[in-house]
Amino acid sequence: MERPVWAPHGIDLTRPSVARMYDYYLGGSHNFEVDRAAARTALEVWPDLPMIMRANRAFMRRAVRFAVDSGIKQFLDIGSGIPTFGNVHEVARAAAPDARVVYVDHDPVAIAHSEAIVADDDQTSVLQADLLKPDDIIGSEAVQRLIDGGEPVALMLVALLHFVGDQDSPRDIVARLRDALPPGSCLILTHATNEGYADPADEERDVYKRMGSPLIMRTRQEVLSFFDGFEVVDPGVVFYSQWRPDAADEEDPARYSGYAGFGLKR
């Protein structure tokens, strides 16, 4: 397989990536044929995926603006993925020009393109790290340099925890990250669910399982448990389109198959 000029060296072009599939769903161009093939297989049994991904991104942008309105100007975006229009630093800077952002991902393509976008931006940094090792993130040079530990921070776990199984203790990981945040910080989180709408077919889940990233559906109560230690703001943990929408949405909210929430650390 011919390697595209933008593809970082050392990555396996024969294995699909969750981040690059997400880029494909959103209409991006930083994906390989192996990612597109896996995504097309998923779309055959869950055709709403692009709509769901767009709703997830729309929530993210609303939540970032709400964080800035709440006085938060530092963002730690873990599982940030491949940059697309309306990145966290772009949305935050529109409201607060001095906002600072650290993007964290373990996918080398996501890292390479994030670095290219923020190369000349001294208020933004990019870190290649794994959520499963939160201390590596907290203690990293990028976080220590850019994030002021005495000021509130927005911890962002958007469309990430549904790829972390219970065997990896995701609630303990979130708690470790939470404990490193000062009062006034927040958690911005989205998570896939099968409540209120048809569960995706086994074939769709198998696409992700074969990649080593099984898609794990959780209930609203299970998603709410990630907010332990945070005060969840109105309207609570709800379907994507129900969280402080900019405009009315005629779709059934449950059709988005995902919950979103925003919690403040007191």
SS (H, E, C) 194-236: CCCCCCCCHHHHHHHHHCCCCCCCCCHHHHHHCCCCCEECCCC
- Please tell me the predicted confidence (pLDDT) of residue 196: 74
The predicted model gives 52-73 an average pLDDT of 95
- Asked whether the predicted pLDDT for residue 12 surpasses 90, the reply is no
- Please tell me the predicted confidence (pLDDT) of residue 191: 97
Angle in degrees, CA 96, 97, 102, rounded to 5:
85
Pairing of strands 100-105, 74-78: parallel
What are the structural domains, with CATH classification, of the chain? 18-264 (3.40.50.150)
Q: pTM for the whole thing?
A: 0.87
Percent of the chain having pLDDT more than 70? 88
- Asked whether the predicted pLDDT for residue 193 surpasses 60, the reply is yes
- Please tell me the predicted confidence (pLDDT) of residue 207: 57
The predicted model gives 160-176 an average pLDDT of 96
The predicted model gives 48-59 an average pLDDT of 89
Return the C-alpha torsion angle 210, 215, 216, 221, nearest 10: 180
pLDDT digits (tens, 9 = 90+) for 82-125: 877 679 999 999 999 999 999 999 988 788 878 888 888 999 99
CA distance 225 to 161: 12
When pLDDT is cut at 50, 70 and 90, the band that residue 244 belongs to is very high
- Please tell me the predicted confidence (pLDDT) of residue 198: 56
Cβ(160)–Cβ(77) below 8 Å? no
- Please tell me the predicted confidence (pLDDT) of residue 28: 81
- Please tell me the predicted confidence (pLDDT) of residue 260: 98
Mean pLDDT of the chain: 88
- Please tell me the predicted confidence (pLDDT) of residue 11: 66
Q: Quick one: which of 256, 198, 199, 265 has its CA closest to 226?
A: 265
Tokens of 147: 């994030």
- Please tell me the predicted confidence (pLDDT) of residue 199: 57
